[in-house]
A and B are shown apart, each in its own frame.
Chain A
Amino acid sequence: MSTEPARSVLSAADRRRPTVRWTLRVAQAGLLLAVAIAGAGPILWVAKGAISPTLELLQEPLRLWPTEPEWENLLLAWRELRVGRYLLNTVVLVGGSWFVQLLVATTGAFALSVLRPRYGRLVYAAVLATLFIPGTTSLVALYLTILDLPITGGSIANTPWAVWLPAGAQAFNVLIMKQFFDALPRELYEAAMVDGAGTWRLFWLIVMPMSGPIVAVVSLLAVMGAWKEFLWPMVAISDTEQQPLAVALPRLAESAEQNQVIAGMLIATIPPLVIFFVFQRHIVRGIGFTGLKG
């Protein structure tokens, strides 16, 4: 993003004054160093810890590089701690949550914004109302819901569905998606309908092709959010075989070899970092767009 203002508090004239220039330089150098240590330091420490002997980590946590890097540690974590398995579980849960969120947001917003059914405004108001009540407050009721679904009955606890489906009930996705659709020129829909396009063609051939940016924003919010989830997957999936990495790690940390746990922590951190650096522009735009905390 280019939020660089034309100028900030300091003007070019200020910057030429020696006192200002030097104070600023020293303060900024110090600040950048502090931000680098606080921001990148812990991640680099995890990377170092993943290939260090546990004893060395305990005795000299400040050491910059292990005396003898144990690269096989990563492999051990993958196989012995079964980090690979948990990572796969995470990917499955995140992928499904992403799909459900996108499905609900696109189709729902399409119906509410483009088709505008008779009770559309009521439905939309009911969706927005859930923004006021964060999901954490329905944790207990949601747990009892997945144990015994209303009307249809049956339990989806301990299955990926218990994470996938509740992830879709994100009012915020529907809100920004609908606002985006509202801003698209309505003449297009009307012209398409006059030309005989049905609901599905309108959705697939007119609305979706124009919605790239908003689909990208919602996707990133969905994936980054789902990757961070902890409490709900822990409650919904008690079977250790199916737990995502985030839920498995604290359990493994209690008993397993510590440097292998750190290797697992590194493996859990790499995917979001990669996604961030690939989609950096979209993410920063998404934050400015939504004004929400990650």
Chain B
Amino acid sequence: MTEVQQRYTPTRAADTATPSADRPRPARRRSRRRLGLGGLVTLLPLLLVFGYFGWWPIGQSVVLSVQQTNLVDPPAWVGVDNFRYLFTDPLLWTTLRNTAWFVVLALLFGFPVPVVLALFGSELQRLGGVFRVLVYLPVLVPPVVALLLWKWFYDPDFGLFNQVLGVAGLDPRPWLQSTATAMPSLVLATTWAHAGSTVLIYLAALAGVPSELYEAAEIDGASIWRRLWHVTMPHLRGVLLIMLLLQIIGTFQIFTEPFILTDGGPEDSTVTVLLLIYRYAFLNGDYGTAAALSVLLAVVLATLSAVYLRLTRKWSTT
């Protein structure tokens, strides 16, 4: 549809990356006219809302990160002191280790689950619709509700999971109460909550694999596994990488899970970056250090987002 539009609307060229040189100029000039009063009014909500709550806070984060403020006295400029303090805080390094550990665990457990589910789900013929709804249900549960429920299930004495283990003749586990199992338990809950939407995206990607490729492979005598490996997987590569990146971007922003399930414990083993920002700002009242960490986080996330954008452009077929 957009191709048709582009052909018939010369002004569309002004918006694309490569304006064609042979287009007549007048159309472009006309499209860049001044806004009338009505025009200004239509742009006003966007300018005000983004100005106050989008652009201003982003700039303000940078300013705050080199200031010391307690909301009462006028803020004092402190240069890089906030960053210096941040880097000497052992909790920062614990947090970064935790984040890396979360990424590794999510890669090992959280990442393959939706892939396997989607591969199986796409082979379901009549029950495909039921499968989609069932797999998407956890996504619909408000995160706070889901996490309170998981906390209940993880309870070492009365929890559902230890009861199930008991029925299976296994020893109960401490789940959230031990430094060894707290983070894996968190990853399990997160995977449950998010797998559904990822599965739907993979299913859409799987549906996009041309059937001729499967037929050709089959005629050439490729087994089911070889077809899966040599036809399906290459087609999913792009979307897999994108989801991986989105998962990493998401991991850096995890807050509600540790906040509700563990509050960062035991022994700070589940403190995440955002939880640390929250603690600095709203428990310690140290807005400067919180802003400094926010700025660092923003730099990391902007870099990852830029990579993500490049990838999605490259694999625009997904």
- Nearest CB of A to B180, in Å: 24
List residues of chain B with CB within 8 A of the CB of A284: 132, 136, 200
- Nearest CB of A to B229, in Å: 10
- Nearest CB of A to B120, in Å: 5
For residue A31, CB closer than 8 A to chain B, the reply is yes
| Total A-B residue contacts, Cβ distance less than 8 Å | 329
Interface-side segment among B94-102, B103-111, B246-254:
B246-254
Most buried by B among A131, A198, A291: A291
For residue B45, CB closer than 8 A to chain A, the reply is yes
- Nearest CB of B to A159, in Å: 14
- Nearest CB of B to A147, in Å: 7
Interface-side segment among A73-81, A165-173, A211-219:
A165-173
List residues of chain A with CB within 8 A of the CB of B170: none
Which residues from 16 to 59 on chain B have a C-beta closer than 8 Å to any C-beta of chain A?
31-36, 38-39, 41-47, 49-50, 52-58
Contact with B along A39-50 (1 / 0, CB 8 A): 110110110000
- The CA-CA distance from A1 to B56 in the complex, in Å, is 40
> Is A138's CB under 8 angstroms from B145's CB?
no
> Is A140's CB under 8 angstroms from B143's CB?
no
For residue B164, CB closer than 8 A to chain A, the reply is yes
Q: Which residue of A lies closest to B50 (CB)?
A: A169
Interface-side segment among B84-92, B171-179, B205-213:
B205-213
- Nearest CB of B to A139, in Å: 7
> Is A165's CB under 8 angstroms from B148's CB?
no
- The CA-CA distance from A139 to B58 in the complex, in Å, is 9
- The CA-CA distance from A136 to B274 in the complex, in Å, is 8
- The CA-CA distance from A255 to B35 in the complex, in Å, is 57
> Is A103's CB under 8 angstroms from B45's CB?
yes
List residues of chain B with CB within 8 A of the CB of A191: none
- Nearest CB of B to A87, in Å: 12
> Is A183's CB under 8 angstroms from B228's CB?
no
> Is A265's CB under 8 angstroms from B123's CB?
no
> Is B140's CB under 8 angstroms from A273's CB?
yes
List residues of chain B with CB within 8 A of the CB of A205: none
With beta carbons under 8 angstroms apart, the residue of A9, A20, A43 that contacts B141 is A43
> Is A150's CB under 8 angstroms from B142's CB?
no
- The CA-CA distance from A33 to B134 in the complex, in Å, is 10
Q: Which residue of A lies closest to B201 (CB)?
A: A291
For residue A195, CB closer than 8 A to chain B, the reply is no
> Is A118's CB under 8 angstroms from B46's CB?
no
With beta carbons under 8 angstroms apart, the residue of B58, B119, B138, B287 that contacts A133 is B58
Q: A111-B46, A132-B305 are in contact. Are A24 and B123 (CB under 8 A)?
A: yes
For residue A71, CB closer than 8 A to chain B, the reply is no
Contact with A along B110-137 (1 / 0, CB 8 A): 0000000101111111011011111111
List residues of chain B with CB within 8 A of the CB of A58: 158
Q: Which residue of A lies closest to B61 (CB)?
A: A141
For residue A185, CB closer than 8 A to chain B, the reply is yes
List the 3 shortest-distance A-B pairs measured between CB atoms, nearest first.
A199-B38, A108-B46, A169-B54
A-B contact pairs, 27 of them (CB 8 A): A7-B214, A10-B224, A11-B214, A31-B121, A35-B131, A35-B135, A39-B196, A42-B138, A43-B141, A107-B46, A108-B46, A111-B35, A115-B35, A123-B46, A136-B297, A137-B295, A182-B12, A186-B8, A198-B38, A199-B41, A228-B143, A235-B282, A262-B152, A269-B140, A288-B204, A291-B201, A293-B194
